Chains A and B, each alone.
Chain A
Amino acid sequence: MGLESASGNAKAGFTVSSKAVAVAAITVLFIVSLFLWTLPFQKNRLPFGEGDSAWHFAIGDSIAHNDKAAFRLPYYIGVWYYGFNKILGPFAPEYPPPSHANYALMQVLGGERFLPVFIYRAVASFLGVLAVFFVISRLFGVLPGFLAGLGLSFSLREQLTYLFGQQPTLTAVLITPVASYAWYKYLVSFYGAGSGDEGSTGGSGNKVYLFLSFTLLASQFLLHLQGFVASAVFIAVLTALMAVRFRKLPVSKSSLLHLGVAVALFAVVAAPFIAIYAGSADINVPRLGFKRLFEWGISPSLVQGSFPPSFVEFSAEYPNVLLPFLAAGLVLLLLRLLLVKNNLKELFMLSWLISAFIVLHLDVFIGIGLNRLARMLVLENYIFYSLIALTAVWLPQALSSFLKIGSRISSAAKYGLAAMLVLLLVSTSGESSYSSLKGAYGSIDRITPVQAEFAESLNSLVPEGAYVYDPSVKIVGQWRYPKMRWMLAISQRHVGRYDGGEIAGEGSFDKSQIYFLFDYSDIALFASSLQYQQQAAAWASQLQQLEQRMFNNTAPLYNGNNIRLYKYEGFGGVAA
């Protein structure tokens, strides 16, 4: 006895009616995701997100503003991570141009400075929903594709990555299932063992899928290295498993020639930007022990300070009610691998699972920090939500095969399970993601109108090479840091924290262009609440002491809405 392949409707593309169903499913997923993921700026259009968010925006914004995409960063952004790149030196970009050029293109075509970029960031972040829909629906049908996509549109981990402003990483990583799918199609065509639509090519493989795989890899490489690495691992695992399955390496004389051309073209695109990644200060961090191989994900203690526990915790991402679906999906995958004759699609899913494990444990093998690796946890979401969704299709099918249940009952069970899953998803992660996105950056953690107004004035108040110190982050807390960086992005002038000590000690400063910003506006907001009055008074006193000590007899360049700006004229160890 054996389980039947669940992909009858995925053969040879979609039929006319199922094509309309697929488009409708994608449209629904897109609109649900667009509504949810744009909640943080539907009412309040002021910028939001962590420091990374401001960093990426600032670069795209500078391209659109200057009408020039230069390879070097302008001064006000370049001193942020001054000397970060060991090969390219100061003012080198941290990423290849596409992510930030995309921001600039959206500004230009969208016709506004902020909103089109925010929409781009939201869409480019939730595209994982569509990527997984595409792959799962092509392999197993529209229904599981839709269910997996719906689960992902509510994914807390992806939403947090987006809110933190790490959208380029997310966009690059979410292409992984698509690039791997293209490679899968190539391998299936090479072995001539597909379900009839792959176009067996007698041992050379379908060139279109080969070149598509490498083009998608190039796209990932240019958006963010981590996406490329994830796909490279997935493709390697898939190739190895397929080679074992067919007892033959996917290599022939003509395929080697095509592969060589594809690699060469990839190299031509990637080579000019290799130094950006190779010179990064993020690589070659100490490796963690092999002990990590015995845990699936990343423990919150290992990324403490960089990510909240909810970002890495399994229970925060998958509500308990989904766990039986996930467990069943894993068991059914193994069963199908053993029992389904044409199990190439299942082999693809297994490769996905194995590669997610390898990618999430790369720190064991190479010197990459867990803070970077944690961003790739979304790979786990893609495969786990796919397995959760496939349970709705696979379980009735398995029961039908084992218990000889009629096809009508099996079909009813499938749609019943799917409806139950939709209800569970909406009532658990759907509801929680609605409330968390609606409340995201909804209070003092987002730049306020008076701060935005000041930042806009700052552009004309100080010259391009100015360095504006903000001492308040150290006094009031790290939560003010992203706001300070958003002031930088809006003003197109460098605003950095001042923690006391020497002023303008590094070589990157023009010592005649030092300014100090004293922003009491947040403190004033705190003071209006009885609960925080005492704390606000203490912060105000500390900041005032520093202001009086440094600028007692100096007239401010800007004085409005509890914000003051001074030009600094003297040098030497002023302690905060």
Chain B
Amino acid sequence: MGSLGGFRIGSGYVPWICGVAVMAAAAFFLFGLVGFRSIIAFAVLFVVPPLMFLGKTSLDVEEKIFFSLFIGLGLFSLVVFAVNQLLPSFRLSAVAAFVLVVLVAFLVVPKILQRRQQKLQ
């Protein structure tokens, strides 16, 4: 599977992605496209951002996914809220917050870890 800045979408994630797809399909069956969008939005908003950080840890996939979900519920929207104090639009802030999380997870954190490793060596 693919790799992005040290975050590997390994085969361990495949069953979970399939699981989410089945859940979204169930929501589609009950509520149509809005139901499908809502479940995907739930996963993208609350699981994916923390997962970008936890993906780099030694935790196993299950732990990464579950911890991400419960962290994301409280913290991702806080980042959006904080960004919205600087940007005029909430919608734009949501996009900016997501981009910010990606940048920090894939550019800043790896550099910090690299420096730390060099220091230890």
Name A's B-contacting residues (CB within 8 A).
Answer: 12-14, 19-20, 22-24, 26-27, 30-31, 34-35, 38, 42, 63-64, 66-69, 96-99, 101-102, 104-106, 108-112, 115-116, 119-120, 123-124, 127, 130-131, 134, 138, 171-172, 175, 178-179, 182, 199, 208, 212, 215-216, 218-223, 269
Query: Is the pair A178, B67 in contact by a Cβ cutoff of 8 Å?
Result: yes
Among A31, A120, A220, which residue has its beta carbon within 8 angstroms of that of B23?
A31
Q: Determine the chain B residues whose CB is within 8 A of the CB of A26 once the complex forms.
A: 19
Query: Is the pair B22, A31 in contact by a Cβ cutoff of 8 Å?
Result: yes
Instruction: List B residues 77-113 near A (Cβ within 8 Å).
Output: 77-78, 80-81, 84, 88-91, 93-94
Among B42, B60, B62, B75, which residue has its beta carbon within 8 angstroms of that of A219?
B75
User: How far, in whole Å, are A180 and B28 apart by their CA atoms in the complex?
Assistant: 34
Which of chain B's residues has its CB closest to A177's CB?
Answer: B70
Q: Determine the chain B residues whose CB is within 8 A of the CB of A38 once the complex forms.
A: 30-31
Closest-CB distance, A179 to chain B (whole angstroms): 8
Query: Is the pair B22, A14 in contact by a Cβ cutoff of 8 Å?
Result: no
- Known contacts: A106-B38, A116-B38, A212-B67. The answer to whether A34 contacts B23 by CB under 8 A is yes
Query: Is the pair A104, B19 in contact by a Cβ cutoff of 8 Å?
Result: no
Closest-CB distance, A28 to chain B (whole angstroms): 9
Query: Is the pair A97, B77 in contact by a Cβ cutoff of 8 Å?
Result: yes
Closest-CB distance, B8 to chain A (whole angstroms): 16
Among B15, B22, B42, B46, which residue has its beta carbon within 8 angstroms of that of A20?
B15
Q: A67-B89, A115-B35, A131-B66 are in contact. List 14 more A-B contacts (CB 8 A).
A: A30-B19, A31-B23, A31-B26, A34-B27, A42-B30, A68-B89, A104-B90, A105-B45, A110-B34, A111-B37, A116-B41, A182-B67, A221-B74, A223-B73
Q: How large is the interface on B (under 10, 10 to 19, 20 to 34, 35 or more residues)?
A: 35 or more
- Provide a sorted-by-A list of 29 A–B residue pairs whose CB atoms are within 8 angstroms: A23-B15, A23-B18, A27-B23, A35-B26, A38-B31, A42-B31, A67-B88, A67-B90, A97-B81, A102-B46, A105-B45, A105-B94, A106-B45, A111-B34, A111-B37, A115-B38, A116-B38, A119-B27, A119-B38, A119-B39, A120-B38, A127-B73, A178-B67, A182-B67, A208-B58, A216-B67, A219-B74, A220-B74, A269-B75
Q: Determine if B114 is an interface residue (Cβ-Cβ < 8 Å).
A: no
Query: Is the pair B75, A98 in contact by a Cβ cutoff of 8 Å?
Result: yes
Q: Determine the chain B residues whose CB is within 8 A of the CB of A171 once the complex forms.
A: 73
List 5 A-B pairs, minimum CB-CB distance, nearest first.
A219-B74, A109-B41, A101-B77, A13-B60, A97-B81
Closest-CB distance, A528 to chain B (whole angstroms): 31
User: How far, in whole Å, are A136 and B67 apart by their CA atoms in the complex?
Assistant: 14
Main secondary structure of the interface of A (DSSP, over half): helix
Instruction: List B residues 36-73 near A (Cβ within 8 Å).
Output: 37-39, 41-42, 44-46, 57-63, 66-67, 69-73
Q: Determine the chain A residues whose CB is within 8 A of the CB of B22 once the complex forms.
A: 27, 31
Main secondary structure of the interface of B (DSSP, over half): helix
Query: Is the pair A222, B74 in contact by a Cβ cutoff of 8 Å?
Result: yes
Closest-CB distance, B69 to chain A (whole angstroms): 8
Closest-CB distance, B73 to chain A (whole angstroms): 6
Query: Is the pair A19, B12 in contact by a Cβ cutoff of 8 Å?
Result: yes
User: How far, in whole Å, are A109 and B16 apart by their CA atoms in the complex?
Assistant: 22
Query: Is the pair A34, B30 in contact by a Cβ cutoff of 8 Å?
Result: yes
Q: Determine the chain B residues whose CB is within 8 A of the CB of A23 once the complex forms.
A: 15-16, 18-19
Among A98, A106, A115, A127, which residue has its beta carbon within 8 angstroms of that of B31?
A115
Q: Determine the chain A residues whose CB is within 8 A of the CB of B62 once the complex forms.
A: 13-14, 19, 22, 134, 138
Closest-CB distance, A70 to chain B (whole angstroms): 9
Q: Determine the chain B residues whose CB is within 8 A of the CB of A96 once the complex forms.
A: 78
Among A13, A27, A218, which residue has its beta carbon within 8 angstroms of that of B74?
A218
User: How far, in whole Å, are A404 and B28 apart by their CA atoms in the complex?
Assistant: 51
User: How far, in whole Å, are A97 and B78 apart by their CA atoms in the complex?
Assistant: 7
Q: Determine the chain A residues whose CB is within 8 A of the CB of B81 once the complex forms.
A: 69, 97-98, 101
Among A12, A24, A67, A112, which residue has its beta carbon within 8 angstroms of that of B91?
A67
Closest-CB distance, A517 to chain B (whole angstroms): 31
Q: Determine the chain B residues whose CB is within 8 A of the CB of A134 once the complex forms.
A: 62, 66
Query: Is the pair A34, B90 in contact by a Cβ cutoff of 8 Å?
Result: no
Query: Is the pair B71, A102 in contact by a Cβ cutoff of 8 Å?
Result: no
User: How far, in whole Å, are A14 and B65 apart by their CA atoms in the complex?
Assistant: 14
- Known contacts: A26-B19, A31-B23, A101-B80. The answer to whether A108 contacts B91 by CB under 8 A is yes
Query: Is the pair A68, B84 in contact by a Cβ cutoff of 8 Å?
Result: yes
User: How far, in whole Å, are A13 and B72 apart by their CA atoms in the complex?
Assistant: 22
